[in-house]
Amino acid sequence: MTDRYAVFGNPLGHSKSPIIHARFAAETGEDLTYGKVEAPVDGFEAALRQFIAGGGSGCNVTAPFKLEAFALATAMTPEAAMAGATNTLRFTDGGIEAHNTDGVGLLADVERILRAPLRGKRALMLGAGGAARGAVLPFLDAAPAAFVMINRTPSKAQAIRDELLAAGHHGLSLADFDTTDRFDVVINATSASLTGECPAIPSRAFEGCELAYELAYAKGLTPFLSRARDADVRTLADGVGMLVGQAAVAFEWWRGVRPTIRNLIETLSIPLERPARQLP
């Protein structure tokens, strides 16, 4: 029987998830359909329960339902627990299991597609909101020599570090914008680009930097990426690879098969100005 999946969100007009999952299903030969459910803003739970009752196997969840979906979960992965939000659910025997695939998807893009393995490298994450939370565990697992978080509101980064320590995860350091440290990889996990702003960046962060990564996608050369380009950072990337990567991790979690992501990232990429996203 054909299994059913969907993305839940509101609005969903822009969602590329159905195209991405249709490509994954075609590539792997998995028998599934993947649709869109634009639930009313106050009707997520009812729409989700209806989908489950109708035989749905799993779903992705996007704004504004990621926190509500998390609250409905009966089990969750460590990534979802750390993020306090979920973008991927699967349904089992009356239960709702929550995952957060954003961070693992980001890491797949950084390490496998952009060829910037983090092991032994120095990574800086700007931001301490939901997106940053989703990424911290996979980043720590990648064993960087240093993993530093800086946020406009330092107490939020401190809270993330405290939660990690309480759960036995060491390795996240905090710094302020005055640091003169240099980094191999700098990730903009703030939402500043959505309003055309640039987060504050420590003065020497980009010196000798390999990769500047903007989590937002299809926004062109954002102020953050422009600053990186002006500082001669070797590779600039936007979040299109994370978009495809998080979908691939969700697909594998549901189906047990890992689809390839490189071609789809190339297809969906909007070229940045020099140096463009490089796909070695």
Give min distance, CB of 148 to ligand ATR, in A: 14
State how far the Cα of 92 lies from the Cα of 224, in Å rounded to an integer. Answer: 42
Among 74, 153, 267, 278, indicate the residue that binds ligand ATR (CB under 6 A): 153
135 or 265, CB closer to ligand ATR?
Answer: 135
- Greatest Cα-to-Cα distance within the chain, rounded to the nearest angstrom: 58
Q: What is d(CA 21, CA 18) in angstroms, rounded to the nearest whole number?
A: 5
Among 35, 129, 171, 220, binds ligand ATR (CB under 6 A): 129
In whole angstroms, what is the distance from residue 211 CA to residue 118 CA?
A: 11
Q: Is 205 in the site for ligand ATR (CB under 6 A)?
A: no
User: 28, exposed or middle or buried, with CB in 10 Å at 0-12, 13-18, 19+?
Assistant: middle
CB of 27 to ligand ATR, least distance (A): 30
- Judged by CB, which is closer to ligand ATR: 94, or 155? 155
Rg for the chain, CA atoms, rounded = 19
Q: Total residues at the site for ligand ATR (CB under 6 A)?
A: 14
Q: Does 191 bind ligand ATR (CB under 6 A)?
A: yes
The one among 76, 96, 110, 128 contacting ligand ATR by CB under 6 A: 128
Nearest Cα to Cα of residue 150 among 138, 161, 140, 142:
161
Q: How far is the CB of 242 from ligand ATR (least distance, A)?
A: 12
Give the residue among 62, 81, 84 at the shortest CA–CA distance from 7.
Answer: 62
199 binds ligand ATR (CB under 6 A): yes
Torsions phi, psi of 70, nearest 5? Answer: -60, -40
Point out which span in 48-56, 138-146, 178-186, 191-199 binds ligand ATR (CB under 6 A).
191-199
Is residue 130 at the binding interface for ligand ATR, with CB under 6 A as the rule?
A: yes
Residue from the set 16, 36, 112, 152 that interacts with ligand ATR by CB under 6 A: 152
H or E element in which residue 16 lies: none
| Residue 66 designated active-site | yes
Asked if 229 and 275 count as a contact pair (C-beta separation under 8 A), the reply is yes
Contact status: 197 vs ligand ATR (CB under 6 A):
yes
Residues 6+ apart with CB under 8 A from 222: 188, 193, 196, 198, 214, 216, 238
The H or E element containing residue 73 is none
Q: Does 278 bind ligand ATR (CB under 6 A)?
A: no
Tell me the three state secondary structure of residue 125.
strand
In which order are the strands placed within the sheet that holds 32-37?
32-37, 3-8, 56-61, 88-92, 95-99, 75-76
Output the smallest distance, CB 121 to ligand ATR, in A.
22
Mark the segment that binds ligand ATR (CB under 6 A) among 186-194, 232-240, 249-257, 262-270.
Answer: 186-194
Nearer to ligand ATR by C-beta: 117 or 129?
A: 129
- Judged by beta carbon, residue 56 or residue 103, the one nearer ligand ATR is 103
Binding mask 95-114 for ligand ATR (x = CB under 6 A): --------------------
Active site residues: 66
Interacting residues toward ligand ATR by CB under 6 A = 127-131, 151-153, 156, 190-192, 197, 199
